[in-house]
């Protein structure tokens, strides 16, 4: 895709040593990806590429937020992310992912697209379940109307689920 051209790092022609690349990830980035779970956010990515004689070391630092739905009230909110990842790239006969941190590229590949890695690293910083953070007063920032509706459906503690009664008896029989 044309949009991701700026994420295509030229490996050939770089001198030995450190090279810094910076990227500003926003809604266009997320929307250009096929099958992206997240659609918006703002993440700053610094990529330090260290070229050595036989390999490339890539150090990614990510900082920003991604808009995610709250697992409790379903309203969207800005989930703050911050993290770093490291990748080693070596040349070999063919493309091989040796591990999460080591990648072998074919000798004839002179560019490397980091857009998919950036999205993957962002995704890894977001937990499966996200809820609005609490305010300084210790209250949830969740949608109060939704919380009120959820509380109406909460069990009052006096009712028990009869399906569990069989398990209670099972435990008592084996004591």
The mean pLDDT value for 30-51 works out to: 92
Identify the band that residue 127 occupies on the pLDDT scale cut at 50, 70 and 90: very high
> pLDDT tens digit string along 136-170?
888 888 888 988 888 887 777 666 777 777 777 66
Q: Is 86 part of a structural domain of the chain? A: yes
> pLDDT tens digit string along 10-26?
988 889 999 999 999 99
Q: Is 153 part of a structural domain of the chain? A: no
Please give the radius of gyration of the chain, using alpha carbons only, rounded to the nearest integer. Answer: 24
CA distance 167 to 95: 53
Residue whose C-alpha is closest to residue 38's, from 133, 146, 101, 130? 130
Amino acid 50: pLDDT? 96
Residue whose C-alpha is closest to residue 49's, from 68, 71, 77, 23? 23
Amino acid 79: pLDDT? 95
The mean pLDDT value for 109-120 works out to: 92
pTM check: above 0.95:
no
Q: Is 157 part of a structural domain of the chain? A: no
Q: Is 159 part of a structural domain of the chain? A: no
Q: Is 77 part of a structural domain of the chain? A: yes
- Mean pLDDT for the chain? 88
Q: Is 25 part of a structural domain of the chain? A: yes
Identify the band that residue 114 occupies on the pLDDT scale cut at 50, 70 and 90: very high
Angle (CA) 20 26 30, round 5°? 105
Residue 99 structural domain: 3-142
Residue whose C-alpha is closest to residue 40's, from 50, 54, 55, 25? 25
Q: Is 8 part of a structural domain of the chain? A: yes
Q: Is 61 part of a structural domain of the chain? A: yes
Domain count, the chain: 1
> pLDDT tens digit string along 58-90?
999 999 999 999 998 999 999 999 999 999 999
């Amino acid at each position: 895709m044309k949009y991701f051209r700026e994420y295509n790092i030229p490996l050939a022609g770089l001198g030995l040593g450190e090279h810094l690349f910076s990227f500003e990830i926003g809604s266009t980035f997320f929307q250009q990806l096929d099958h992206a779970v997240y659609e918006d956010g703002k993440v700053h990515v610094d990529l330090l590429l260290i070229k050595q004689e036989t390999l490339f070391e890539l150090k990614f630092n990510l900082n920003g937020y991604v808009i995610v739905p709250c697992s409790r009230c379903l309203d969207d909110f800005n989930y703050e992310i911050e993290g770093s990842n490291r990748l080693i790239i070596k040349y070999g006969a063919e493309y091989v992912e040796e591990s999460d941190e080591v990648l072998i590229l074919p000798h004839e590949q002179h560019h490397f697209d980091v857009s998919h890695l950036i999205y993957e690293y962002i995704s890894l910083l977001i937990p499966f379940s996200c809820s609005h953070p609490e305010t300084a007063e210790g209250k949830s920032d969740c949608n109060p109307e939704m919380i009120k509706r959820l509380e109406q459906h909460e069990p009052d503690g006096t009712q028990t689920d009869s399906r569990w009664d069989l398990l209670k008896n099972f435990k008592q029989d084996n004591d």
